[in-house]
Structure 1
């Protein structure tokens, strides 16, 4: 997998002004997600209340329908066509590369809020901070800073290897956080990346060129190592891979098996814990 990062695009505004703007946007996104979560809880409570009333009338109906009330966000939420937020097209700074110790030698949970084709969905990932401490520390740091908010997934491959690549705010495949790192961590020795793998993109033959771009494997793929080795595996998707598969089913915009997805994908935000 390639990450075409060459050098950071010179900023067009003062760093302090840009950081204030990012902070404002992150606050707005957080408030929006909180409002959506409250609305979902209110809907869930309403459904549970209805189910409780129905339970007084007929218990068999309750057993059949309690699952949807208990998990109201299990299915994607449709929007009006084209109602996803506008994707970022500008370079961003990710600050300084965090020390690997920031991964805390533990498993992290990352929830990616996606909008694809006017439909909201979530991809939940377990990040292995013990096996890939530098990569996980970087990913978590960028997520907490809002670096990934409203960024596009710019690349879909549908032949040979099967991945959706994201993490470049410019949407060009050449953007990065202003730093790069290595070496490669936790790469499979057999070059097999099972469906659900999330791994770091990098420049070919350069194990020190990882930045912000990552890819999600939606179908078992053999990705050959190059002179630098394999690709750092951050972790595994635990739920929501069907949303990525749905994007893949829509195909890519080029005829080469490698290009922007036909169904544009926006990462609205990433929550980590």
Structure 2
């Protein structure tokens, strides 16, 4: 026969086991949420068998709590290295996927590394202006400058809106499929390590796969503080005009997926209010 003490011990063990199981499930849920910004090009990496190169990051940085300024001790690359999406040494050489737009690669040196640059998106919902942090995200800024000069972003749609847990409008894929981008990738920089939340309202950051050195052309605008996203995505700058437009797009919701539960409101997909980037331009660096 069990004693009261035995029953108390058994109950305590059961409570502890339930708590541990609950914590493990919450941890798995957080990890799943943290991967939802990943660029669809991650599947291309698997299909093409691309081995991403490892880039050693060196340099100094400063810290700040302002959105768009460097909030961490993440080193800024001394040089911008543009990594090929398709391994040029592979034989036979894999074909570039149809979702990828080949406009060459930015210069390997000479990019501005001080001050800021103004990026202007002329869209179908209005003008959105973004102050890029050229001092702390020089490679991201250099990539935007180069691609904008090639009209890479012109007449492209912001293809993804998320309205639960992660609050972003994602753009920068010419194919509109989430699989597209340029023929190069580059290393992450200006990560908001140690900041909680890492990504706050008005920030603009770069999408990537779960692999390092996989930043491309896709970017996301944060329209509400995100508590659940890990500091894995380059902060390129902050919205200085037009954040209200992004919020209105978010309020309108997303287009339901055909396979989704019709009784549950959709929280991720193409925005109901189409956001077409008619032109994307980048101004010169300012102190």
Q: Same fold (TM over 0.5)?
A: yes
Contact kept, 8 Å, 1:115 with 1:267, in 2: the verdict is yes
Contact kept, 8 Å, 2:117 with 2:132, in 1: the verdict is yes
Q: How many angstroms does 1:105 deviate by? A: 2.4
**Aligned equivalent of 1:132, options 137, 143, 160:** 137
Query: Is structure 2 residue 275 aligned with structure 1 residue 270?
Result: no
RMSD, aligned α-carbons: 2.0
Q: How many angstroms does 1:126 deviate by? A: 0.4
Q: How many angstroms does 1:188 deviate by? A: 4.0
Helix, strand or coil at the partner of 1:162: strand
The aligned counterpart of 2:8 is none
Q: How many angstroms does 1:267 deviate by? A: 0.5
Q: How many angstroms does 1:91 deviate by? A: 4.1
Structure 1: which 5+ residue stretches go unaligned?
9-88
The aligned counterpart of 1:4 is 40
Moved more, 89-98 or 144-153: 89-98
CA gap of 1:201–1:114, structure 2 versus 1, over 3 A, is same
Contact kept, 8 Å, 2:188 with 2:233, in 1: the verdict is no
Query: Is structure 2 residue 162 aligned with structure 1 residue 162?
Result: no
Helix, strand or coil at the partner of 1:243: helix
Distance 1:177 1:165 in 2: 16
In the alignment of these two chains, the number of paired residues is 185
**Pairing 1:63-212 to 2, within 5 Å after superposition:** 91-99=100-108, 101-116=110-125, 121-190=126-195, 191-204=197-210, 206-212=211-217
Contact kept, 8 Å, 1:177 with 1:212, in 2: the verdict is yes
Structure 2: which 5+ residue stretches go unaligned?
1-36, 46-97, 257-264
Q: How many angstroms does 1:249 deviate by? A: 0.9
CA deviation vs aligned residue, 1:104-124 (integer Å, no higher than 9, x gap): 4220001100114xxxx1001
Contact kept, 8 Å, 2:99 with 2:179, in 1: the verdict is no
CA deviation vs aligned residue, 1:127-178 (integer Å, no higher than 9, x gap): 0011111111111111121100000100000000100000000000010101
Query: TM-score, length-normalised on structure 1?
Result: 0.63
The aligned counterpart of 2:90 is none
Larger radius of gyration: 2
More helix by share: 1
CA deviation vs aligned residue, 1:71-124 (integer Å, no higher than 9, x gap): xxxxxxxxxxxxxxxxxx9642231144364134220001100114xxxx1001
Distance 1:161 1:98 in 2: 34
Runs ≥4 in structure 1, deviation > 4 angstroms?
none
Helix, strand or coil at the partner of 1:268: strand
